[in-house]
């Protein structure tokens, strides 16, 4: 049991080499957030969408013409 404990302690104190997430994780996260904001910013400002307006109760049917 002591040998396993010593091995576990040795592995914990081993030098950690950076992987892809350590090197680029923050930049990928920020890039994704910027892209998300840019796309939704375009949608909210450039597309002429009437947000939250319901036609219920405003549109009355016209008489049928024969």
Kindly report whether the global pTM for this prediction surpasses the value 0.75.
no
The confidence score (pLDDT) of residue 65 equals 77
Count of alpha carbons within 13 angstroms of residue 5, beta-carbon side: 2
**Mean pLDDT estimate for the chain:** 79
- The domain ranges of the chain are 22-47
The confidence score (pLDDT) of residue 15 equals 66
């Amino acid at each position: 049991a002591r040998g396993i404990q010593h091995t576990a302690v040795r592995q914990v104190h081993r030098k950690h080499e950076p992987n892809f997430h350590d090197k680029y994780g923050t930049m990928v996260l920020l890039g994704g957030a910027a892209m998300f904001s840019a796309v939704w910013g375009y949608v909210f400002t450039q597309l002429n969408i009437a947000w939250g307006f319901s036609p219920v109760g405003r549109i009355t049917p016209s008489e049928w013409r024969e």
